[in-house]
Amino acid sequence: MAQIIDGKALAKQVREEIKAETEEMEAKHGIVPGLAVILVGNDPGSEVYVRNKKNDCEKVGFYSEVIHLPEETSADTILEHIRKLNATEAIDGILVQMPLPGHLDAPSILNTIRPHKDVDGLHPVNMGRLLSGQPCMAPCTPKGVMRMLDSIGCEIEGKRAVVVGRSVLVGKPIAMMLLARNATVTMCHSRTRNLPEICAEADILVAATGRAEMIDENYVKEGAVVIDVGISRMGKKLTGDVAYERVADKAGWITPVPGGVGPMTRAMLLVNTMQAAKLRVG
Do residues 37 and 54 make contact, with C-beta atoms less than 8 angstroms apart?
A: yes
Q: For this structure, is 76 an active site residue?
A: no
Q: For this structure, is 13 an active site residue?
A: no
CB proximity list for 235: less than 8 A, separation 6 or greater: none
Other Cβ atoms within 10 Å of 188 Cβ, number: 22
Q: What own/partner pairs with CB < 8 Å and gap ≥ 24 does 121-124 have?
A: 121/173, 121/272, 122/168, 122/169
E strands along 127-183, which residues?
160-164
Other Cβ atoms within 10 Å of 133 Cβ, number: 10
In this structure, what are the phi and psi dihedrals at residue 105, rounded to the nearest 5 degrees? Answer: -95, 105
Other Cβ atoms within 10 Å of 273 Cβ, number: 31
In this structure, what are the phi and psi dihedrals at residue 255, rounded to the nearest 5 degrees? Answer: -100, 135
Do residues 46 and 99 make contact, with C-beta atoms less than 8 angstroms apart?
A: yes
**CA proximity to 140, closest of 97, 86, 78, 203:** 97
SS3 category, 213: coil
Other Cβ atoms within 10 Å of 21 Cβ, number: 18
User: In terms of DSSP bridges, do strands 160-164 and 204-207 run parallel, antiparallel, or are they unpaired?
Assistant: parallel
Tell me the one-letter amino acid at 244: Y
In this structure, what are the phi and psi dihedrals at residue 161, rounded to the nearest 5 degrees? Answer: -115, 135
| Catalytic choice (120, 203, 228, 241) | 120
| Catalytic choice (97, 143, 159, 203) | 97
Known catalytic residues? 53, 97, 120
